[in-house]
């Protein structure tokens, strides 16, 4: 049916959008906004320059953000819902693999590597999470908003999903904001409603976080230079997530522009663009992105397959 085809396309668009943003954004990861502006905006796939964490990756290859998002999606599929034990086990294995791979080692953030080490030493997922409020649990959270359709459930599972690696109020608020934002966009809510739900639910864990989501929306017509400086673009969840919401809000009907703005924000560009891409794809569906971005993405068919399974499981619940 046409309607179901459209909904399925939003699931695919969400996961592909995240991967596309991540794969393009990796070229600017760690660069300042000033350096990005003097190099010129990145608008398509390419190799990351020497010195960037993703320097050994191929053009069109995504980073740890998408790897963890896929891992979370596969855990949801295997367990028919979020199971913290299964997810933590997969994270521990993933971390060990990534840290022993010379091309991917530099991609694993400080919270994730500390949490992975704790999990692999036998510490329970309840106590393995880092207290650093970084964005690792935000950047991977989109599949929770795809699998669960009830917003209370999305919020609860997103908060829980952060704990094995990122057990701080800021990181938990970030995971909640992203997963809730994705679900609201899938449901076709208008922008003010999406912001209201995401900010109110994030505020339950970190009030200042929710306030920044509101600012990212209310000031969406202010220039990117001003807003990225104001919201921040570092790996902290309360910077990457509001900056992603700013790009999403500013270009609510122009997803390609939203992703390009995020890719060039500065600092944690792969994560900002990954979150922006997930939100845009959930809002607009797979048709939102240019053909060259879809065709050039590594593992595209596998990601599409995973998104399709999440769709089938979600509508069947
Ligand atoms: Mg990354």
123-127 average pLDDT score:
98
Residues, beta carbon < 5 Å, ion ligand 1: 63-65, 270
pLDDT score at 255: 98
**What rounded mean pLDDT belongs to the chain?**
96
Query: What is the DSSP code string of 170-228?
Result: HHHHHHHHHHHHHHHHHTT--HHHHHHHHHHHHHTT-HHHHHHHHHHHHTTTS-HHHHH
pLDDT band at 4 (very low <50, low <70, confident <90, very high): confident
182-201 average pLDDT score:
98
What's the gap in Å between 131 CA and the centre of ligand 1? 19
Domains of the chain: which residue ranges?
2-315
What's the gap in Å between 270 CA and the centre of ligand 1? 5
196-207 average pLDDT score:
98
40-57 average pLDDT score:
95
What's the gap in Å between 126 CA and the centre of ligand 1? 24
What's the gap in Å between 218 CA and the centre of ligand 1? 28
What's the gap in Å between 22 CA and the centre of ligand 1? 7
What's the gap in Å between 106 CA and the centre of ligand 1? 9
State if pTM tops 0.85: yes
pLDDT score at 291: 97
Residue-wise pLDDT for 54-96, tens only, equals 999 999 999 999 999 999 999 999 999 999 999 999 999 999 9
What's the gap in Å between 245 CA and the centre of ligand 1? 18
Among the ranges given (97-111, 178-192, 274-288), the one the predictor scored with the smallest mean pLDDT: 97-111
190-217 average pLDDT score:
98
Task: For residue 134, give the 3-state DSSP assignment.
Answer: strand
What's the gap in Å between 2 CA and the centre of ligand 1? 35
CATH class of 2-315: mainly alpha
Alpha-carbon distance of 119 to 99, in angstroms, equals 14
What's the gap in Å between 26 CA and the centre of ligand 1? 7
């Amino acid at each position: 049916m046409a309607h179901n085809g459209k909904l399925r396309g939003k699931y695919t668009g969400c996961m592909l959008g995240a991967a596309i943003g991540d794969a393009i954004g990796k070229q600017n990861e760690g660069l300042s906004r000033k350096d990005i502006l003097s190099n010129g905006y990145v608008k398509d796939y390419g190799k990351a320059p020497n010195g960037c964490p993703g320097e050994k990756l191929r053009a069109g290859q995504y980073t740890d953000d998408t790897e963890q998002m896929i891992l979370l999606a596969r855990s949801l599929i295997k367990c028919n819902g979020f199971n913290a034990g299964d997810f933590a086990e997969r994270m521990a294995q993933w971390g060990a693999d990534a840290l022993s791979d010379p091309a991917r080692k530099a991609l694993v953030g400080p919270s994730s590597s500390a949490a992975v080490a704790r999990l692999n030493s036998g510490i329970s997922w309840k106590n393995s999470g880092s207290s650093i409020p970084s964005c690792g649990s935000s950047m991977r959270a989109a599949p929770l908003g795809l699998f669960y359709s009830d917003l209370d459930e999305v919020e609860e599972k997103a908060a829980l999903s952060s704990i094995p690696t990122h057990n701080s109020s800021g990181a938990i608020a970030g995971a909640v904001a992203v997963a809730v934002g994705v679900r609201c966009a899938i449901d076709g809510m208008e922008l003010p409603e999406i912001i209201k739900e995401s900010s109110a639910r994030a505020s339950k864990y970190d009030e200042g976080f929710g306030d920044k989501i509101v600012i990212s929306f209310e000031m969406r017509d202010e220039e990117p230079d001003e807003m990225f400086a104001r919201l921040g673009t570092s790996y902290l969840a309360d910077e990457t997530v509001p900056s992603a919401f700013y790009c999403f809000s500013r270009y609510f009907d122009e997803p390609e522009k939203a992703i390009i703005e995020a890719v060039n924000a500065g600092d944690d560009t792969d994560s900002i663009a990954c979150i922006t891409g997930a939100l845009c794809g959930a809002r607009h569906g797979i048709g939102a992105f240019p053909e060259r971005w879809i065709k050039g993405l590594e593992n595209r068919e596998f990601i599409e397959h995973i998104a399709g399974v999440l769709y089938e499981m979600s509508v069947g619940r």
